[in-house]
Amino acid sequence: MKLLKFNSYEDYKRIQIETNKRKLQKISTTAKELRFVANFIQKNIPEASFGLCHGVRNGYEVKQLRALLGVNVLGTEISETANQFEHVMQWDFHDVKQEWTGNVDFIYSNAWDHSYDPDAMLRSWMSCLRPNGRCFLQWTRRHTDRALRGADCFGLSFDEMIQWASKDYKVEKVKKIQEFKSFNALTLLQDIFKKGRLSIRGGKVFIVILKNKN
């Protein structure tokens, strides 16, 4: 488990925004993953009416979950690019709006590794949940400490993530969604041309589902 340090909050925010703009069209989830989340919510939180997705870039997961569930889903993104996308607001996901406290049915994020204070971040998110609410966290090998750089400032192994999350909260379920590989000639050539090296793509995708203990 590793956590990168920043010179100041403004330094952290600048790096996050620069990365957001560089990767604005990149999507870090899959339709299959979001269908699992939606199906779990429909089965276990049938009364759900409001959800949050944190660190959403272009709002793909917000759009998909709204369509799958037919409920109000709001996304947050620290960059001002949030204003380009419907149902996405510019917001630092470490903070909590007063009206969210105890009033959110579910939270989804694949961007928790962008936190400068993971314990405070998770505490904020879990404080938003209703008694039957759930928090869905994606884990892939892109979330390990070997992937740390720039905006990806918090990294830990899968076992470490479970230990971290279960310290104060209940890990209700861990779902392995898929294993995928996306190697092809074009991506290999693009890596060599743009970076002078090969990037490793693909791997296991897990969804860790959290509940408050009380």
State how far the Cα of 50 lies from the Cα of 73, in Å rounded to an integer: 6
Number of domains in the chain: 1
CA angle (45, 30, 212) in 5-degree steps: 35
CA angle (152, 9, 52) in 5-degree steps: 60
List the CATH number of the domain containing 129. 3.40.50.150
Could you give the count of Cα atoms lying within 13 Å of 101 in the half-sphere of its Cβ? 6
What pLDDT was estimated at residue 146? 83
Q: Give the DSSP per-residue string, the chain.
A: -EE---S-HHHHHHHHHHHHHHTTT---S-HHHHHHHHHHHHHH-TT--EEEEES-TTTHHHHHHHHHH-SEEEEEESSGGGGGSTTEEE--TTS--GGGTT-EEEEEES-GGG-SSHHHHHHHHHHHEEEEEEEEEEE-GGGSGGG-BTTB-EE--HHHHHHHHHTTSEEEEEEEEEEE----HHHHHHHHHHHSSPPP--EEEEEEEEE---
Q: Would you write out the chain's pLDDT as a tens digit for each of its 214 residues?
A: 999 999 999 999 999 999 999 999 999 998 999 999 999 999 999 999 999 999 999 999 999 999 999 999 999 999 999 999 999 999 999 999 999 999 999 999 999 999 999 999 999 999 999 999 999 999 998 899 887 888 999 999 999 999 999 999 999 999 998 765 544 455 545 554 554 433 444 578 999 999 999 8
Report CA 59 to chain centroid distance, whole Å. Answer: 11
Token pair in block for residue 35 = 């269908």
What pLDDT was estimated at residue 188? 47
What pLDDT was estimated at residue 70? 98
Give the closest residue to 174 by CA, choosing from 183, 186, 165.
165
* CA dihedral sign, ordered 156, 131, 124, 30: positive
Query: Can you give the residue range of the structural domain that contains 138?
Result: 2-211
What pLDDT was estimated at residue 179? 61
Give the closest residue to 91 by CA, choosing from 127, 52, 48.
52
| Strand 88-90 relative to strand 2-3, pairing | unpaired
What pLDDT was estimated at residue 189? 55
